[in-house]
C-alpha cells in the first residue's frame, strides 16, 4: 500500500519502465508518507487499436 | 473525461472494435453532455481461460 | 459479457445515468454482436479532488 | 454479480487457474450469499517487467 | 501478490465481508501456491443506481 | 495518456493529495517522455474494512 497502476501505450523501453517504477515509487512515498517498501507499481500497456479518444482509435489516425 | 473501459472476450474484428469506439463515444457524449473529444475508450480483451462464470472457465466448457 | 465501466466526475442526474446505461448498452450490443441482456455497465464517479490532469486537481483550478 | 478479479504473475498452469476459478467462486458464494451461477471471475496476468515493489521490478531482481 | 478485487452490490454485513476476505485468501493461496501472507483483497461496493444489466439499472427495476 | 491510478487507504490530507498528483505527474512525464499535460491521475481511497492482507482486514487488526 499504496498501489499504483500506470496505463500507457506500448513502446517504452525496459530502461524507461525501470526508471518509471523507481521515480513514481519515490514520488508516492514522499507525498503520502508511506515507506517505499510498501509501494507497489503495476504497468499496463495498451495497443493502438484498443485506445480511442473522441471516438477514433490511435490505429485509425 | 469520461473514461470508458470495455472488457470482452477476444475475437472481434478490427472493424467491430472501430465501430464500438465510435458508437460508445457518441452514446456517452449524448447522455452525459461531455463533448465527444473528451471521451476516452479503452478496450480490454480476455482469453477464454481467464474468464469464468459459476466457477467454470469458458475454455473448460 | 461485455463489461463496461464508465468513470466520470460526479454530478450527473439520475436521469442522465439511466440514459447512459441504456444507450451505451445498445451501442455495445450493436457493434459487438453480444445480446443486450449480456451487457453489464458499471458507473464509477470521481470527486474533483481525486482527479488531476497535468498534475493539477480539478478542485485546485 | 459479484465480480472477482485476480491479478497475479504469469506462470500458473491451466489446472491451477481452473481450480482457482472454482474455489474462489465457492468462497465468494458461501460468504456473500450470492448463488454460484452469479459469480464471475477474471484472471489478469502480469509479467515480471511490469510489476514493482519498493521501486524495483521483479525482472530486475 | 496475488491481488484480488471483489466488486459487489453494497449491503453485506461486516461479518460477511470479514469472512469473504478470509475464505477468498485461503482459496487463492491453496490453488496458486502463493503464501497467505502475500494475498491482498480489496472490496469494492456498488450502489444500485451505478450498476446495470441489459441496459437497466438495479435502482430502476 | 498515461493514466495513473493511485489506490490507498483514506486519511491523507488535501495538501498531501495535491502534492501526490503534482509529483507523480512529473515522475511519469520525465521517465516516459509524455508531456505533463497528457498525464492523468486518479486517486482511489479504500476504507479499512475493505482492504485485507493475509486474509485479515485492517479494521479487524
What CA–CA distances, in Å, run from D21 to B46, B58, F50?
A: 15, 11, 21
The position carrying cell 491451466 is D14
Q: Which domain holds residue E18?
A: 3-60
Q: Is the peptide bond before B9 cis (omega within 30 degrees of 0)?
A: no
Q: Do chains E and D touch (3 or more CB pairs under 8 A)?
A: yes
- Residues shown for chain D: 61
Interchain proximity F28–A6, CB inside 8 Å: yes
Give this complex's ipTM. 0.97
Task: CATH number of the domain at B30, please.
Answer: 3.30.429.10
Percentage, residues of chain F above pLDDT 70: 100
Q: How many CB pairs under 8 A join B and C?
A: 74
Substitution target from C55, C56, C58, C59 for chain F, most F beta carbons within 10 A: C55
How far apart, in whole angstroms, are the C-alpha atoms of residue B23 and residue C27? 6
**Residue D43, class by beta-carbon neighbours within 10 Å (0-12 exposed, 13-18 middle, 19+ buried)?**
buried
Q: What is the number of structural domains in chain D?
A: 1
Q: Is the peptide bond before E19 cis (omega within 30 degrees of 0)?
A: no
Q: How confident is the model at residue D36 (pLDDT cuts 50, 70, 90)?
A: very high
How far apart, in whole angstroms, are the C-alpha atoms of residue C41 and residue C34? 14
Which pLDDT score, from 0 to 100, does residue C59 have?
A: 98
Q: Do chains B and A touch (3 or more CB pairs under 8 A)?
A: yes
Is E2 annotated in the active site?
yes
B61 found inside a domain = no
3-state secondary structure of D12: coil
Substitution target from C5, C30, C41 for chain B, most B beta carbons within 10 A: C5
Q: How confident is the model at residue F47 (pLDDT cuts 50, 70, 90)?
A: very high
- pLDDT tens readout for residues D11-27: 999 999 999 999 999 99
Residues 6+ apart with CB under 8 A from D49: A14, A17, A43, D57, D58, D59, D60
Which pLDDT score, from 0 to 100, does residue B48 have?
A: 98
Amino acid at each position: 500500500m499504496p498501489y499504483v497502476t500506470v496505463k500507457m501505450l506500448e513502446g517504452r523501453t525496459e530502461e524507461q519502465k525501470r526508471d518509471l517504477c523507481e521515480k513514481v515509487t519515490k514520488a508516492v512515498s514522499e507525498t503520502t508518507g508511506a515507506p517505499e517498501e510498501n509501494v507497489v507499481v503495476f504497468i499496463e500497456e495498451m495497443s493502438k487499436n484498443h485506445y480511442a479518444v473522441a471516438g477514433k482509435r490511435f490505429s485509425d489516425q
